């Protein structure tokens, strides 16, 4: 519940789910944590076999659910397909399946990925297996893109001057540190400003090589480990 773990909720959900993956259309949820992984939307045109399309949507949802995929259909008839597209994109549902007259005639569905907007026609045969593969691909792509963005923001520094320049550039700074609390307090005091003071974020489990004689960027004392620093915006 939010009132039980608000700190963890805001940091890991707002900080990661929204700021890292989200875009101008709304949320972009990784399939593993999305409450709805697939939304199925009927696209009936004038004089189309509307009932047949609706039945195909229901069948698709049933097949996906039985396969362990969290899917639902949006069969509301008071909203247009375009409105539904926007609605579910804003909610971040990883995959949208559209079924229209042409899809019904060709025994296929149109799958649209939320992460990159790619569209694919998938045959009804073995649909669940293919949808599962798409969800796995989306999950990996979100991870890869986020990692690339993170890595591009990391700046390795060894001196105080390099550190302050990297902070101004809003970098995630990796620096050698003596691992002393008083030194961190001093860094906070020296960097305090309108955008907030710099602080330690975390120390990587897989430590980069720390050559003998390496000095702490802030104190000049012998460094004990590499640590990430940054500001909270």
pLDDT, tens digit, 9 for 90 and up, residues 93-152: 999 999 999 999 999 999 999 999 999 999 999 999 999 999 999 999 999 999 999 999
94 lies in the same domain as 133? yes
**Which pLDDT score is estimated for 45?**
86
Question: Do residues 210 and 204 touch, judged by C-beta distance below 8 A?
Answer: no
Residue among 224, 219, 232, 228 at smallest CA distance from 182: 219
Which residues, 6 or more positions from 211, have their beta carbon under 8 angstroms from its beta carbon? none
**Which pLDDT score is estimated for 48?**
84
Residue 41 in domain: yes
% of residues, the chain, pLDDT over 90 = 85
How many domains is the chain partitioned into structurally?
Answer: 2
Residue 140 in domain: yes
128 lies in the same domain as 164? no
Domain boundary among 146, 174, 205: 146
- pLDDT, one tens digit per residue, over 38-57 is 999 999 988 889 999 999 99
Residue among 75, 118, 125 at smallest CA distance from 95: 118
Average pLDDT over the chain, rounded to an integer: 93
Helix (H) or strand (E) holding 187: helix 181-191
Please give the model's pTM, rounded to 2 decimal places.
Answer: 0.84
67 lies in the same domain as 142? yes
**Which pLDDT score is estimated for 12?**
67
- pLDDT, one tens digit per residue, over 74-98 is 999 999 999 999 999 999 999 999 9
Residue 199's domain comprises 157-231
194 lies in the same domain as 95? no
């Amino acid at each position: 519940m939010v009132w039980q773990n608000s700190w963890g909720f805001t940091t890991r959900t707002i900080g990661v789910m929204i700021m890292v993956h989200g875009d101008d259309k709304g949320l972009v949820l990784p399939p593993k944590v999305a409450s709805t992984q697939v939304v199925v939307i009927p696209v009936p045109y004038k004089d189309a076999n509307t009932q047949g399309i609706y039945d195909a949507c229901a069948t698709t949802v049933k097949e996906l659910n039985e396969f362990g995929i969290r899917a639902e259909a949006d069969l509301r008839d008071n909203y247009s397909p375009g409105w539904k597209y926007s609605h579910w994109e804003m909610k971040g549902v990883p995959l949208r399946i559209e079924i229209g007259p042409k899809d019904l005639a060709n025994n296929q569905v149109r799958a649209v990925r939320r992460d990159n907007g790619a569209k694919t026609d998938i045959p009804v045969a073995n649909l669940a297996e293919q949808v599962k593969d798409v969800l796995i691909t989306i999950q990996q792509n979100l991870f890869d893109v986020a990692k690339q963005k993170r890595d591009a923001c990391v700046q390795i520094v060894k001196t105080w001057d390099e550190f302050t320049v990297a902070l101004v550039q809003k970098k995630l700074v990796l620096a050698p540190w003596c691992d002393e609390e008083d030194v961190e307090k001093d860094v906070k005091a020296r960097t305090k400003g309108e955008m907030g003071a710099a602080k330690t974020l975390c120390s990587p489990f897989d430590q980069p090589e720390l050559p003998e004689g390496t000095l702490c960027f802030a104190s000049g004392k012998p460094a004990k480990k590499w640590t990430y620093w940054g500001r909270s915006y």
